Amino acid sequence: MKLFAILLTCALACSTSFASAQQKQVVIRFSHVVAPDTPKGKAAERFQQLAEQATQGRVRVRIYPNSQLYRDREELEALQLGAVEMIAPSLSKLRPLGAREFEVFDLPFMFPDKEALHRITNGPIGADMLERLQSRGIIGLAFWDNGFKSFSANRPLRLPSDLHGLRMRIQPSRVLDAEMRALGAQPMALRFGEVYDALAAGVVDGTENPPSNFYTQNMQDVQAHFTVSNHGYLGYAVLVNKKFWEDLPIDIRLALEEAMRSATRYADSISQDENDKALKAIQDSGKTQVYFLTETERKEWRKALTTVSANMQDHIGAQLISNIQNAINAP
């Protein structure tokens, strides 16, 4: 009788603690480095809203924008250590994970438009790239668009030779380093949160980014010229800590996956408009002169950058580059 009572108490205690473990609120700390009113910032907020709604508050998403919590490289380390659960670094910043194949997205003039790009990010090649992150303790949930990059500096940039001798801020990518060197510029890898001050202090003379990142960091205050060159792509991989993700109760994980699919469609649907609006705001600021390359000028930039792709074959993987080119050119 006594034994029965003990067993019963035990069973009750176990089921209560199991239920409370099931009910325990899950907190997702989502760290990123850009402003809230950018494509990434808005998509993060959309994910937050959808995730909290779908799980009826069992999940809380706390967003830390503008490098508030961690900066570029640190956020990758924080994710691996479990100090944050979710990040969305640009694809140019994944090399510390040993994932240099993502630098394929940095190759100049690789993707003629978003349609071509989505053939990769929404297709089997993109899925395979994300899948390989698992061996680093990370799950890649999605690709999010920002947009195509333009060059800026304190002098007009119409032809590649205009970049000669300029110190240009880049993200930490070998491909971007090679791009700037091919143009005769001196590349300097700086964290995103340091770019405004470095431009203001003249530590660097120019940079490259889509208009949304440029405008929301007030770079129009410190850069007199912005050339719409659309010479390369900037996008993100949304990453979560693998152990955290796999330990989630299955119903929660499925709800979060659905919220992420929705947030991804949203990110990709607003990115062009966000960049168009930012470009107009840069023009309207009257502080930065915006220049659109003519077709002839664009050809010159393309020509000046052709060596980059050839020289980066070994670094990125010739097979991957060729698979991507085939997928883009497929009917």
Q: Which residues bind ligand LMR (CB under 6 A)?
A: 33-34, 40, 90, 146, 171, 192, 209, 213, 234
Q: In terms of C-beta density within 10 A (0-12 exposed, 13-18 middle, 19 or more buried), how is residue 286 classed? A: exposed
CB 194 to ligand LMR: min, Å = 9
- Which helix (H) or strand (E) segment holds residue 6: the answer is helix 2-23
**How far from 130 is each of 109, 173, 232, 260, CA to CA, in Å?**
23, 18, 21, 15
Whole-angstrom distance, CA of residue 135 vs CA of residue 97: 10
Whole-angstrom distance, CA of residue 239 vs CA of residue 85: 8
DSSP string for residues in 156-167 = ---SGGGGTT-E
Neighbours of 330 (CB within 10 A): 7
CB 170 to ligand LMR: min, Å = 8
CB 187 to ligand LMR: min, Å = 13
DSSP string for residues in 43-77 = HHHHHHHHHHHHTTTSEEEEEE-TTSS--HHHHHH
Whole-angstrom distance, CA of residue 196 vs CA of residue 150: 16
Q: For ligand LMR, which is the closer residue by CB, 111 or 192?
A: 192
CB 240 to ligand LMR: min, Å = 17
Closest CA to 245 of 84, 99, 63: 84
CB 167 to ligand LMR: min, Å = 16
Q: Over the range 169-199, which residues count as b (16 or more CB within 10 Å of their CB) and which as e?
A: bbbbbbbbbbbbebbebebbebbbbebbebb
Q: For ligand LMR, which is the closer residue by CB, 40 or 225?
A: 40
Q: For ligand LMR, which is the closer residue by CB, 171 or 309?
A: 171
Closest CA to 265 of 121, 113, 56: 121
Q: Which residues are within 8 A (CB) of 12 and not within 5 positions of it... i.e. 6 or more apart?
A: none
Closest CA to 215 of 30, 1, 34, 25: 34
Query: φ, ψ for residue 191 (rounded to 5)?
Result: -70, 155
Q: For ligand LMR, which is the closer residue by CB, 209 or 220?
A: 209
CB 69 to ligand LMR: min, Å = 14
Q: For ligand LMR, which is the closer residue by CB, 119 or 169?
A: 169
Q: For ligand LMR, which is the closer residue by CB, 55 or 220?
A: 220
Beta-strand ranges (E) seen in 154-224 are 167-170, 186-189, 206-209
CB 140 to ligand LMR: min, Å = 16
Q: For ligand LMR, which is the closer residue by CB, 43 or 290?
A: 43
CB 281 to ligand LMR: min, Å = 17
CB 260 to ligand LMR: min, Å = 18
Q: For ligand LMR, which is the closer residue by CB, 117 or 255?
A: 117
Q: For ligand LMR, which is the closer residue by CB, 168 or 324?
A: 168
